[in-house]
Structure 1
Amino acid sequence: MLDLSGTELGPEERERLRHPLVGGVILFARNYASPAQLAELTRAIHALREPRLLIGVDHEGGRVQRFREGFTPIPPMRRLGEVWDAHPQAARRLAHQVGYVLAAELRACGVDFSFTPVLDLDWGTSGVIGDRAFHRHPQAVSELAHALMLGMKAAGMAAVGKHFPGHGHVAADSHLAVPVDERERADLDLADLIPFRQMIDYGLPAIMPAHVIYPRVDARPAGFSPVWLQQILRAELGFTGAIFSDDLSMEGASVAGDVVARARAALTAGCDMVLVCNDPQAAQAVLNRLDWTQPAVSLARLARLHGRPGARDLTRLHEDPRYAAAMHAVGSIGGKTPELPLNASNDPCAQR
């Protein structure tokens, strides 16, 4: 999965995206000017190949929302956790509405999926996670993330949980350093792994592992570890969805060698798709030098992440009463009087 330099495809980028090793595109704020421009860009990307390239984006809300002007401001997930403390049922309903608005707007512009929700616990030590996390308590994270995923699914979009098995306990930022979490496996089982385990049981379609080393389990970062990805995530937890590496250009990935070695290590460990972002030369090096044949099972997992057909364009979406109600609910989050609980029969999670 590669990135782009601007708001439209250049000739070199078109050629690169046609390479057989490329399976997707990740978009950033630099690729966005307006909803109309974004829709045209995604149409151009999808027209390049058959089957179509996947298009993803980090669109979580709060400080990680790539598209702003013309999109509904999504609050940081911590706001939902704060509502949970007083009104868990209302928080679940609001999380469902957030997921619906987030996904419906992206699908209206042709984006297939978002790398959300964050399933890390808010231990109060990680600046890079911080208010991106729903809560400190695993059950709150699990239930809010489940509701968000159901809202996204209702809008035709798959969810990607991150950062397995939990990035919230370490202070170091894996963009800039190689974080090390010294806790025992049992400590992770009793806390950070709970949301991942429960979301897998709920049918989570995809997961992104952390560029964090857990030396009590394996000396390799989770995203390069067959222990974490094959023995624990696949065999023990029963995960059958897609696994995306985190960006291989991050400092947390440096322990695996140069970018080609990183890609090979992540794929060998069990990732179905690797991300190479913000470094066109590194991306080209992977395409030139990586010798890899994608297993059919990986292709099948990734194929499930294409956005559901039939998404409304933004004009029609804004005329939809369901969307208008959801957008109003999202706008209430963070205020003094967020929407209060409905009857349990109207709670999207209570029905499952």
Structure 2
Amino acid sequence: MTFTITEDARAVLLPAFDGTLLSDATKRFLDGGGISLLLGESRDEYLARRMSDSRRNSETAETLQRVTDAARARSGMLLAAVDQEMGGTCRLHDLVPQFPALRDLPFASEEEIAEISKLIATGASSMGINVFLSPVVDVLTGPNKWLEGRTWSNNAELVATLSAAYIRGVQSGRVAATAKHFPGYSTTTGDPAVDENAINPLALSDVEAGLAPFRAAIAAGVEMIMVGPAIVMAYDHAKAALRSQTVVQVLKKTLGFDGIVMADDLDSMATMRGDSVAAVAIDALNAGCDFLLLADTGTQLDEIADAIETAARSETISAEALAKSATKVRRLSRKYEAQSCHSAEGKCDQRVAGSAS
């Protein structure tokens, strides 16, 4: 099946929203070639590392199933993502089994982590969710307002071992895993979401010391790796990691990762540094990212999709590279849709067969 540039420009976007209803913008996006969404959390929930009591009391598995079903009905295939972190943000709250308590995670075995991760993924898959934006594999060695409460050990070897077990468990449970945030933010000078001057100031040797969990994730077969939102001085003094070809090439060439490279939030202040979201999106694609996370707010989703399409038609970005990235995203969707539907008593076999290209 042949796809248009219009469709490719939408296939590489991952829109995030904190509710459980599709906005008009998301509907247009899915109708026009988009195949993904992130069921996110509010800023307060994100900061608290806990879903609100009102959400926990009102939201059911059927709530999430309805929104993923509605999206699939429009797109024909879907990557439905959530944050489901060990020791951090767990978007699915009480709807799935729980990880060991934060204090107990460092003492868990690989087998225990793989087993519970598979159970959590199986529960998520039954709701139509097939992507986890986790594990967090940054190894904190200094202050980090952004990642405090989202990591569970400062031992790189332990993070590598148990994160690899998480990835194996989740993906055997029919959910694609995403290791984040490359190349690692052991410390930051601020929160990249709100501080445009936030950076990772560490020397190259210190940054490289934190790459072990990413290597382990790749060895475990992780489907996606998310590149971080702030400048990493050791690699690039001028551009945030997700906008830096230097950083992305370390991931692809030095570490040998050939899966989907995801860009973290395009509209983080430390990513934009005064530029537009559209400029960030173009830079991220030119740097080698395949899949771009952005907020579904106002008309932003339409605007960024249109900006990517215009850039591809004017050769500001490579239309061929855009098509390859879109193909990788669609291939992942078909892979995990097929696995998810296979376990759902065949109720969506016809839809998946019809979406194959």
The alignment's TM-score, normalised by the length of structure 2, stands at 0.77
Residues 297-352 of structure 1 show CA distances to partners (whole Å, capped at 9, x for unaligned) of 323432353322346569xxxxxxxxxxxxxxxxxxxxxxxxxxxxxxxxxxxxxx
Q: 1:125 aligns with which of 143, 147, 152?
A: 143
Q: 2:32 aligns with which of 12, 16, 19?
A: 19
* Of 142-151 and 3-12, the range deviating more from structure 2: 3-12
Counterpart amino acid of residue 93 in structure 2: R
Q: After TM superposition, what 4+ stretches of structure 1 lie above 6 angstroms from structure 2?
A: none
Counterpart amino acid of residue 123 in structure 2: E
1:39 corresponding residue in structure 2: 65
- In structure 2, the CA distance between the partners of 1:148 and 1:251, relative to structure 1 (3 Å rule), is same
Asked if the contact 1:214/1:222 (under 8 Å) is kept, the reply is yes
Asked if the contact 1:60/1:76 (under 8 Å) is kept, the reply is no
| 1:99, distance to aligned residue in structure 2 (A) | 1.4
CA distance in 2, matches of 1:78, 1:301: 38
The alignment's TM-score, normalised by the length of structure 1, stands at 0.78
CA distance in 2, matches of 1:181, 1:145: 22
CA distance in 2, matches of 1:167, 1:78: 22
CA distance in 2, matches of 1:134, 1:119: 9
Structure 2 counterpart SS, 1:207? strand
Asked if the contact 1:134/1:140 (under 8 Å) is kept, the reply is no
| 1:75, distance to aligned residue in structure 2 (A) | 4.8
| 1:138, distance to aligned residue in structure 2 (A) | 1.3
| 1:202, distance to aligned residue in structure 2 (A) | 2.7
User: After the TM superposition, which residues 280-295 of structure 1 pair with which residues of structure 2 at under 5 Å, given as runs?
Assistant: 280-290=298-308, 291=310, 292=312, 293=319, 295=322
Structure 2 counterpart SS, 1:127? coil
| 1:7, distance to aligned residue in structure 2 (A) | 2.2
CA distance in 2, matches of 1:276, 1:24: 11
CA distance in 1, matches of 2:233, 2:148: 23
User: After the TM superposition, which residues 1-352 of structure 1 pair with which residues of structure 2 at under 5 Å, given as runs?
Assistant: 1-4=14-17, 6-20=19-33, 22-29=34-41, 33-50=59-76, 52-75=77-100, 79-81=104-106, 83=107, 90-178=108-196, 179-189=198-208, 191-219=209-237, 220-230=239-249, 232-255=250-273, 257-290=275-308, 291=310, 292=312, 293=319, 295-306=322-333, 307=336, 308-310=339-341, 312=343
* Of 273-282 and 62-71, the range deviating more from structure 2: 62-71
* Of 119-128 and 264-273, the range deviating more from structure 2: 119-128
| 1:78, distance to aligned residue in structure 2 (A) | 5.9
Identical positions, percent: 25
Counterpart amino acid of residue 177 in structure 2: A
Question: What residue ranges of structure 2 are gaps of 5+ in the alignment?
Answer: 1-13, 43-54, 313-318, 346-357
Asked if the contact 1:104/1:311 (under 8 Å) is kept, the reply is no
CA distance in 2, matches of 1:136, 1:61: 14
Structure 1 counterpart SS, 2:65? helix
CA distance in 2, matches of 1:71, 1:53: 21
Counterpart amino acid of residue 245 in structure 2: P
Asked if the contact 1:80/1:94 (under 8 Å) is kept, the reply is no
Asked if the contact 1:249/1:278 (under 8 Å) is kept, the reply is no
Count of aligned positions: 303
- In structure 2, the CA distance between the partners of 1:75 and 1:126, relative to structure 1 (3 Å rule), is farther
CA distance in 1, matches of 2:330, 2:243: 23
Residues 201-248 of structure 1 show CA distances to partners (whole Å, capped at 9, x for unaligned) of 332211001112122321211110000102x11111110010111111
Question: What residue ranges of structure 1 are gaps of 5+ in the alignment?
Answer: 84-89, 315-352
| 1:55, distance to aligned residue in structure 2 (A) | 1.3
Asked if the contact 2:116/2:169 (under 8 Å) is kept, the reply is yes
Asked if the contact 1:76/1:132 (under 8 Å) is kept, the reply is no
Asked if the contact 1:243/1:270 (under 8 Å) is kept, the reply is yes
* Of 30-39 and 119-128, the range deviating more from structure 2: 30-39
Asked if the contact 1:58/1:114 (under 8 Å) is kept, the reply is yes
| 1:198, distance to aligned residue in structure 2 (A) | 2.5
- In structure 2, the CA distance between the partners of 1:149 and 1:7, relative to structure 1 (3 Å rule), is same
CA distance in 1, matches of 2:210, 2:69: 39
- In structure 2, the CA distance between the partners of 1:40 and 1:118, relative to structure 1 (3 Å rule), is same
